Amino acid sequence: MTSIFFSGEIMKKSLKELVEELISAEDLSLIALTDALNTASVVKNYPKFVQDHMNDCDGDHRAVISNMSMGLAGESGEFIDHVKKYLYHGHDIDHEYVRKELGDILWYVVALMNCFDQDLIDVMEKNKEKLQNRYKSGGFSKEESRDREETKESDMGPLFNWKRKLSSAEDLSEKIDEYQQSNDVDSD
């Protein structure tokens, strides 16, 4: 079956264009067509659903961003705690709980995308493009992860370099003093 759903362009097409493209796909069953249309509809309409269910904090945009960021951190913490219990405490994974927590995380991510006027499909496409550029072999590789451009020390600035080069608290104190002196920063 031709996979047109994951082309990234499906959400930008009209329903008529989408149906015509799906119908012309090889070996496409009515069930596959229905599933693709339902999935496309959910993905396309989800940001509006989230927007309609967000706390608008009485119109204070900064408060909305703060609220949504804290919500994302909280839900991520709940998910991580479940993983911790699985990895280190001998608990079983509760797949329904994981699904609910990941749904909450997704909700907050989309809410933040709404706060910053970011399009879900565009963000997905840009992330895909970034990862394709990073992993030129076609998938994850440890070598490409280590050697990628954005993690080179020279691009990370002085704080990254300090973290890698410091061996003691005294080293840190010296580096802070050097930084403050070179940037005319008061130590008070």
Domain boundaries, the chain: 1-53, 56-118, 152-182
What is the C-alpha separation between 153 and 161, in angstroms, rounded?
6
Average confidence (pLDDT) over 51-67: 94
Report whether pLDDT(104) > 90: yes
Q: What is the pTM of this model?
A: 0.64
Task: List pLDDT tens digits, range 106-153.
Answer: 999 999 999 999 999 899 999 999 898 888 888 888 888 888 766 554
Provide the mean pLDDT of the chain.
79
Please give the helix or strand (H or E) that residue 137 lies within, else none.
Answer: none
